[in-house]
Chain A
Amino acid sequence: MTRAAVSREFASDQPELDLELRDSAFGTALRRSDLAVIAVALAGAAAAAAIVSSGGVVTAPTAFATVLVANIVTLAVGGVAWRRGRPFSLFGNLLLAEGALVFVSSLSGSSNSVLHLVGLLGIWGTAFGASWLLVVFPSSRPAGAAWIVMGIALATFLVGELPLILTSSSLQGLTSLSSCATTCPANPALAVHAPSVATAFRYVEDALQAAWGVGLLFFLATRFAWASRARRRLILPVFVSAAPLAAAFTLSAVVFGLAGVSSSATARAIFAGARILYPLGFVAGLLFARAYAGEALAFMARKLVGRPSVATVEQLVRRVLDDPQARLVFWLPRSEQFVDRHGRPAVLDPGLETVTWRAFGHGDAKVLAVVHDLALGEDPELVEAVGAASLLALENRRLEHDLLDSVDALRASQRRLVGAASAERRKIERDLHDGVQQKLVALRIQLELTRDLARGNGLGNRLDALAADFDDALDELRSAAHGIYPPLLADEGLEAALREVARRSSLPLTVDLEDVGRLSEDCETAIYYCCLEALQNVAKHAGDDALASLRLWRDRSAVRFSVRDDGVGYVPRSGINGAGLTNMTDRMGAVGGTLRVRSRPGEGTMVEGGIASEASDRTGDVIRV
């Protein structure tokens, strides 16, 4: 698998993810080409069984046929599964090639000498192929010590098998894989008939085969011992299923070849069992990886409930990937780069030696990438699961943030509107009070002075009437200004203003007003007008005998008010008081407060509201001019 192939892949868009699930090796809809491969494999397996059974040259044709059929089927299924689960990996193709070699090896059951020879070469090929599969797994090319193992394997052929073919009249192939004893057809490739040389080469081949088997065992053991936990998960089933074969391969070369002990039916049966077992490990490895990825996904999903921080998600990714260096980086579309969670640019160089990365997002739009150990590239299901879970968690978080942001913005703009309106009303009241009202009062004083001079004559009487009209006009102006914004609310706050409302109210009203201190102007206005509105509702709708009570208090968390009456009540939502209630709800909502109205016919009405202390307290004193 190449890094470029991984980094080019952007998973996790919903439809794509769905497609991928259906396409997966364990999904239901198999591709036509996969079905063809399986069909060919089944036909090949049947043909192989027929060749082995009918040729009459194989010592134990049933056991041999069983091994061949089992291997071909397993390798074909494994190959298809691998190719579909990890399309970027060549390993699936290797499994299919090995399956084809196993079919070729069935020709060793033919009595035709040429076909028999081809079959024997096929047997050697299957051993070489199985060895290749085991040392490269789950990649496709050997690296490091794997080359030594494969070198020994090649040497076994060049120094042992090949000279043996040229010098031995009877072909037996690799000792452990020998399929015929006495009835083997003549060797068509015999160049020099030299039985003693052939015997010598047989010893050489057996020795090299033993070295090959030991090398393979040693390679697998050290590889497992040094592997990271993530990689172990993948190679454990392969190691467990291949170790018996490698051991049997080695032992048979030593015991039946070098020591000259004649093979028994039991030994052959054990060897056959080991051969059937080994390719199952590859399929099991794939299954284990998927199962672990599923488990990891479930684990992450459980841990990501709530509102995990980016740091928490990153920590989980590290834990699940078992990679302490793993990081989450986030794509900034505007600056076209990845940054880490602290906003530092992240360098994702495709030439990095120890880490690789995989991006997740929607379609072609990247959102984040998981930077992880190179070894985890062989565990793509896990990385994919982890990345998708992280994406979901962070997307949810972002969505929630966006939602809260917009709610906040809405509330802030509502608050600004209400705030602007009440500030404007206050200003108008001030202007009236200090402007026209003051001028009228001054004129009224002058009128009174003039009247005093004209007292007792006709002009005086006219001025008396004028003064009375003047007073009425002043009263009206005063009450209009008061209605626009009560000066007492601005000057002294809620308690004084509401007490004044109660004093000048014609309702039978009791009050329980606590000094709640000064709140922000918006909050004071909201509560004041809600109380006023509620009291007006009582006057209008509660009935003539209704007694009302007005309460204002502060508890640990909020400033609260209530207006209750014992009047006729109403069925909520029946439309009565509709506009007033909406008005009150809007006022309280704009300042982040709450409003509750409870009413039932015959049981009066209660309006109760509150504003959380932190939302209502004054941040700075109001400057009056």
Chain B
Amino acid sequence: MSSASELSNTEPVYRIVVAEDAYLIREGIRSALEREKEEVEVLEYCPDFDSLLRAVEEHAPNVVITDIRMPPTNTDEGIQAATALRESNPGVGVVVISQYVSPHYALKLFEHGSAGRAYLLKERVGHRIQLLEAIREVAAGGSVVDPKVVDVLVEARMRAKNSLLSRLSTREREVLAGVATGASNAAIADSLFLTKRAVEKNINSLFAKLDLTDDKSTSRRVRAALLFIADSDLEPGTES
């Protein structure tokens, strides 16, 4: 997004702390963020959970990029950090990067609120637009879910008979998947070659169909859409 970098010709907009224990990935992140140095300043690279929280205290960043799995327990420290920061530093956006395609982790990340949170597969780090988009979204309080996570779910649900998802038109389903990744209406419109107006219409109709409240807060909308895709079919009693 060259327009953004042109706007900020004084100080970098995003002051970032990165937490990643694997050297190769950390170097990948470093190279990727080097490219964006007009917009992004990396304050510190941390190897584990504790040093991440300390670095956040010290540098007061506006965005954290963190591996999901780090010492000490190598389970979901990234999500724990996101939860802890929501309490201690509510203004800090968190991008959790992971090798897991599991929607479980994305939903877990959103459990205590989805505002300012992104769940991204690690290989996106090299992708200029996707990484920067996620950073911008979380800094602005938005939410991002890796499209692959949404795709896996949609794919499984579409194969299942009588899935609630299969009652939607193809267009509506594509729009819903777009919403679930956190894409803006404009971005959805771009990717589906629709007008922004048409996307809005689709969203209104499908949210009504699915009995979802179309939240004006996009981050809550992301979570609702993701939850719907992941779990709506699994609830007993929803099927006739």
Contact = CB atoms under 8 A, between A and B. Distances in A.
Interface of A: 433-434, 437-439, 441-442, 444-449, 451-452, 471, 474, 478, 487-488, 491-492, 496, 499-500, 502-512, 544-545, 547, 549, 624-625
B236 A438 contact: no
Contact of A452 (B35, B100, B231, B234): B35
Nearest to B23: A442
A445 B230 contact: no
A354 B8 CA distance: 111
A508 B25 contact: no
Given A478-B99, A478-B101, A449 B160 contact: no
A456 to B, nearest CB: 14
Interface stretch (B69-77, B87-95, B172-180, B200-208): B69-77
A380 B25 CA distance: 88
Given A508-B160, A547-B239, A446 B231 contact: no
6 contacts: A445-B29, A488-B100, A491-B76, A506-B160, A508-B161, A510-B239
Contact of A625 (B74, B101, B122, B162): B74
A592 B101 CA distance: 34
Nearest to A442: B24
4 nearest A-B pairs in the assembled complex, by CB-CB distance: A448-B126, A506-B159, A445-B28, A442-B24
A510 B233 CA distance: 7
B156 interface: yes
Interface in B138-169: 152-153, 156-157, 159-163
B160 A442 contact: no
A517 to B, nearest CB: 16
Contacts of A544: 161
B171 interface: no
B22 A433 contact: no
B51 interface: no
Contacts of A624: 73-75
Contacts of A451: 126
B112 interface: no
Contacts of B230: 503
B43 interface: no
Nearest to A621: B73
Given A441-B122, A510-B235, A624-B75, A500 B25 contact: no
B234 A509 contact: yes
B215 interface: no
Interface in B198-240: 230-231, 233-239
B32 interface: yes
B102 A505 contact: no
Interface string B7-41: 00000000000000010110111011001000000
Contacts of B27: 442
B75 A508 contact: no
A148 to B, nearest CB: 94
Contacts of A442: 22, 24-25, 27-28
A438 B22 CA distance: 8
Contacts of A445: 25, 28-29, 31-32, 122-123, 125-126
A212 B31 CA distance: 127
Nearest to B24: A442
Contacts of A478: 99, 101
